[in-house]
């Protein structure tokens, strides 16, 4: 039955930035589909872990600051040790820094590139090694952005990092396909998260954004769950290297 292909029973999913927002929504979505979940964040993951456990799934909580490259490598080993395998990786953790191009600081550049780009690569590399060793393939999903497609304004390091995520998704898909590892990305549109709080609080920008959105509203974490479960499941076994926009129609306007 086709619906059976969307089930994640017996799988272990790793979700970074799982303490709140899109990451928490993803962790809950994976758990609802049947997966056990490792929740990774620099902030508390207690609330997310509670939601996963309430669904009857096992959960592994990892406190890690992915801004520190040395903290990345141990994550996958800890998950495999506690939950037995790593079958799905969602690279969700990310930050944004805003400022005019002519005034943008080195720190605001370096911090965003480290978390949004370098951490994605090195955590994916570690997860892929684990998946290859397990010998049964796997799924890696990256969180891209509307700014993987567009230039944006006042967010140079964010645009650079999210453009890189799209490119890395394609590169990893090419190299990992022989190991039956699918690599895709989801590009959320304008979502109601902490990253977009300044935009939603600005009456002018908020009205401008909503005026362009065919859906007429900001997206919610739940709006990503279907796409993420699809890309994490056997239903997407012939889909790789693709960045799927979940954007309320933003890119078609």
DSSP line for the chain: -GGGGG--TT-EEEEESTTSHHHHHHHHHHHHTT-EEEEEESS--HHHHHHHHHTT--EEEEE--TTSGGGTHHHHHHHHHHHS---EEEE---------GGG--HHHHHHHHIIIIIHHHHHHHHHHHHHHHHTS-EEEEEE--GGGTS--SS-HHHHHHHHHHHHHHHHHHHHHGGGTEEEEEEEE-SBSSGGGHHHHHSHHHHHHHHHH-TT-S-B-THHHHHHHHHHHSGGGTT--S-EEEESTTGGG-
212 φ/ψ angles, rounded to the nearest 5 degrees: -90, -20
* Alpha-carbon span 90 to 11, nearest angstrom: 13
Residue 158 annotated as catalytic: yes
> Which of 158, 190, 238, 242 is labelled catalytic?
158
Of 143, 229, 235, the C-alpha closest to 184 is 143
Q: Which residues are catalytic?
A: 158
């Amino acid at each position: 039955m086709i619906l059976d292909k969307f089930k994640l029973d017996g799988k272990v999913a790793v979700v970074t930035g799982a303490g709140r927002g899109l990451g928490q929504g993803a962790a809950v979505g994976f758990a609802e589909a049947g997966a056990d979940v490792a929740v990774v964040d620099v902030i508390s993951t207690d609330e997310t872990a509670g939601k996963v456990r309430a669904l009857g799934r096992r959960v592994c909580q990892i406190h890690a600051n992915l801004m520190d490259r040395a903290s990345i490598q141990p994550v996958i080993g800890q998950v495999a040790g506690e939950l037995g395998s790593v079958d799905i990786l969602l690279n969700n953790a990310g930050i944004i820094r805003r400022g005019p191009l002519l005034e943008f600081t080195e720190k605001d550049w370096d911090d965003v590139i480290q978390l949004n780009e370098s951490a994605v690569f090195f955590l994916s590399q570690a997860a892929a090694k684990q998946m290859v060793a397990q010998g049964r393939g796997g799924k890696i999903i990256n969180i891209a952005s509307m700014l993987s497609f567009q230039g944006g304004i006042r967010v140079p390091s964010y645009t650079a990092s999210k453009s890189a995520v799209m490119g890395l998704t394609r590169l990893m898909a090419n190299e990992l396909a022989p190991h039956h590892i699918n690599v895709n990305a989801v590009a959320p549109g304008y979502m109601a998260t902490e990253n977009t709080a300044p935009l939603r609080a600005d009456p002018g920008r908020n009205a401008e954004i909503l005026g362009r959105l065919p859906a007429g509203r900001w997206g919610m974490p739940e709006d990503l769950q279907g796409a993420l479960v699809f890309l994490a499941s056997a239903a997407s076994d012939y889909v790789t290297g693709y960045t799927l926009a979940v954007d309320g129609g933003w890119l078609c306007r």
